[in-house]
Amino acid sequence: MSAIMKVMLADHPADAQWGDKALISFNQSGTAIHLVGSEAECLRLIQRAGRRLDSQGIKQIALVGSDWDLERRYAFYQGFYNPRAGQSLYLGDMAAAEQRQLDALLEVTRWVRQLTNATPEELYPQTLAEQAATFIGQQAPEAISFEIISGEALKDQGHIGIYQVGRGSARVPALMVLDYNPSGDPSAPVAACLVGKGITFDSGGYSLKDSDNMLPMKSDMGGAAMVSGALALAIRQGLKARVKLFLCCAENLVSGDAFKLGDIFTYRNGVSVEILNTDAEGRLVLADGLLCAAETGTRHILDAATLTGAAKVALGRDYHAVLSLDEMRSLQLCRWASEENEKSWPLPLESWHLGQLTSNFAELGNVASAEGTAGATTAAAFLSRFVPSGMDWVHMDLSASYQKNGNELWAAGGKGHGVRTIARWLREVCA
């Protein structure tokens, strides 16, 4: 059994023998991480150090010294995490209240990352819905109720987007509706709603992806994992308002029964949509969830989805894209993200962007076809058609939720990055 490596923090540069601006050095007592710069820069250095130590095969670590606070411990954990497991990390002694906060963060983040990394054979629409309901239910069993609507029942109840996108798979699509109602009063108002995209595997449908782009598509349920984890975290942090969660779950596969280019869907609000690209399926299932959320009478809706490649082109894998018809809502969410040491960035969305989703046969096309249109923005514009005017609605395109390959900060796979931001949004709008 390997020895435990002790890791401490140092506020001075490493000795020259470790190289110019060395991040870590070793001595008889263990390892030192050398911190220079603002606190935000120091957190990034700590996460890099955790990632580097894992990449060197060090599997047992104890954080020692008095300079570790909650944020620094959490940053190290994020970098040290390895989806293949086999690690042992002692995070050090801390006050009971801080320990509870950190335990909640670690449990939720670990769950989101593991769920996102699950194989499409083990995680499909029904199991995604069940696992999310079970995990959230563990946080407050007496306050949680849920139902899962699946298969033909979706069609019968008018959830046409989820039904049509998922009907090409032998594993039936599902809508999970979860009610967190801590008051126990069935007439209590719904303070906020969360809607998550739960595409457990996305082949692109008849607009087929190539193998390189299809490989990470087990992670296309990252929005469902993120909003579920965020609600669980907010409950652990003391959320007392009623919240409803809608997970829109399906596999987007090719078969004789799969939806096709040229099909037209007509939603419960009367909006007709022509399918111009079957690989733009996320917005089709989210439309059902947004309609359900609006019907609760809430004022506040947040949806989260791994929705567009365009958001990744714009922002890379470091920032989530945030869009709203009210720019101040986007900016406020990005501020909350920054305060939670997560990264989001606003992208533009105007009411006239909806006019770029044209169809010769329906009210909307599910993608924009004109030259020069913005992919992430027009996807959000599509969603806006299913949210009542004046609603406090914000959309997160989760460009920073998953990485096909590891880098200096993150192991390959799900990151859990964004769960704190959404939990913060819940606490703020429900206050």
Q: Which among 60, 93, 126 is the end of a domain? A: 93
Question: What DSSP assignment string belongs to 151-171?
Answer: THHHHHTT-HHHHHHHTTSSS
Q: Mean of the pLDDT values across residues 348-377?
A: 95
Predicted local distance difference test score (pLDDT) of residue 392? 97
The pLDDT of residue 183 is above 60 = yes
CATH code of 130's domain: 3.40.630.10
Q: Could you list the residue range(s) of the whole structural domain that residue 34 is in? A: 5-93
> Is the Cα torsion angle 422, 366, 203, 287 positive or negative in sign?
positive
The angle formed by the CA atoms of residues 95, 101 and 107, to the nearest 5 degrees, is: 125
Q: Which of 29, 59, 93 is the last residue of a domain?
A: 93
Q: Are residues 197 and 88 in the same domain?
A: no
- Mean residue pLDDT of the chain comes to 96
Residue with token string 């070793």: 26
Residue 12 lies inside a defined structural domain of this protein: yes
Q: Are residues 208 and 327 in the same domain?
A: yes
Mean pLDDT of 353-372: 94
- Answer yes or no: are the C-beta atoms of 193 and 316 closer than 8 Å: no
The verdict on 74 and 200 lying in the same domain is: no
Same domain for 28 and 153, yes or no, is: no
Q: How confident is the model at residue 2 (pLDDT cuts 50, 70, 90)?
A: low
Inside any domain, residue 371:
yes
Active-site positions read 209, 283
Share of the chain above pLDDT 90, in %: 96
Backbone angles phi, psi at 178, to 5 degrees: -115, 135
Q: What are phi and psi of 387, to 5 degrees?
A: -120, 125
Domain count across the chain:
2
User: In this structure, which amino acid lies at residue 347?
Assistant: L
Percent of the chain with pLDDT over 70: 100
Give the pLDDT of residue 317: 94
Q: Looking at the domain assignment, is residue 98 inside a domain?
A: no
Q: Which residues pair with 28 in a beta bridge?
A: none
Domain assignment of residue 104, yes or no: no
Is residue 258 included in any domain, yes or no?
yes
Contacts with 269 (C-beta within 8 Å, 6 or more apart), sequence order: 291, 386
Is the sign of the CA dihedral 4, 82, 401, 431 positive or negative?
A: negative
Residue 39's pLDDT band, with cuts at 50, 70 and 90, is very high
The pLDDT of residue 261 is 98
- CB atoms near residue 177 (< 10 Å): 19
Q: Tens digit of pLDDT for each residue in 288-306?
A: 999 999 999 999 999 999 9
d(CA 60, CA 328): 45
Taking alpha carbons only, the member of 97, 94, 98, 63 closest to residue 79 is 63
Residues 88 and 118 in one domain: no
Instruction: Enter the tokens of residue 379.
Output: 């996807």
Q: What is the phi/psi pair of residue 193, to 5°?
A: -130, 145
DSSP state of 321: E
Sign of CA dihedral 359, 220, 171, 271: negative
Q: In Å, how far are 84, 202, 283 from 215, measured between CA atoms?
A: 18, 9, 21
Q: What is the rounded distance in angstroms from the CA atom of residue 303 to the CA atom of residue 69?
A: 32
* Same-domain pairing of 26 and 162: no
Same domain flag for 164 and 22: no
The verdict on 390 and 269 lying in the same domain is yes
Q: Which residue, of 58, 93, 128, is where some domain finishes?
A: 93
Task: Kindly state whether residue 227 falls inside one of the protein's structural domains.
Answer: yes
What tokens appear for 398 in the block?
Answer: 């989760």
pLDDT at residue 1 in the model: 42
User: Looking at residue 238, what DSSP letter applies?
Assistant: T
What is the spatial distance between Cα 117 and Cα 136, in angstroms, rounded to a whole number?
A: 19
Q: What distance in Å separates the CA atoms of residue 346 and residue 239, rounded to the nearest whole number?
A: 26
Same domain (yes/no): 71, 16:
yes
**Using one digit for the tens of pLDDT, what is the confidence trace for 392-421?**
999 999 999 999 999 999 999 999 999 999
258-272 pLDDT per residue, tens: 999 999 999 999 999
pLDDT tops 90 at residue 29: no
Q: Is pLDDT above 90 for 186?
A: yes
Nearest to 180 by CA among 126, 250, 132: 132
Cα Dmax for the chain: 73
Distance of alpha carbon 358 from alpha carbon 366, whole angstroms = 8
Which residues are paired to 90 by β-bridges?
A: 62
Q: What is the mean pLDDT of residues 116-129?
A: 98
Question: Dihedral (C-alpha) 106, 112, 118, 122: value to the nearest 10 degrees?
Answer: 110
Which residues are CB-neighbours of 93 under 8 A, at least 6 positions away? none
Q: Indicate whether 100 belongs to any domain.
A: no
The answer to whether 366 and 284 are in contact (CB under 8 A) is yes
Q: Is the pLDDT of residue 371 over 90?
A: no
**Domain contains 160:** yes
Q: Is 77 found in the same domain as 150?
A: no
| Residues 194 and 78 reside in one and the same domain | no
Check whether residue 159 and residue 40 sit in a common domain: no
The mean per-residue pLDDT over the stretch 339-359 comes to 97
Q: How far apart are CA 262 and CA 237, in angstroms?
A: 47
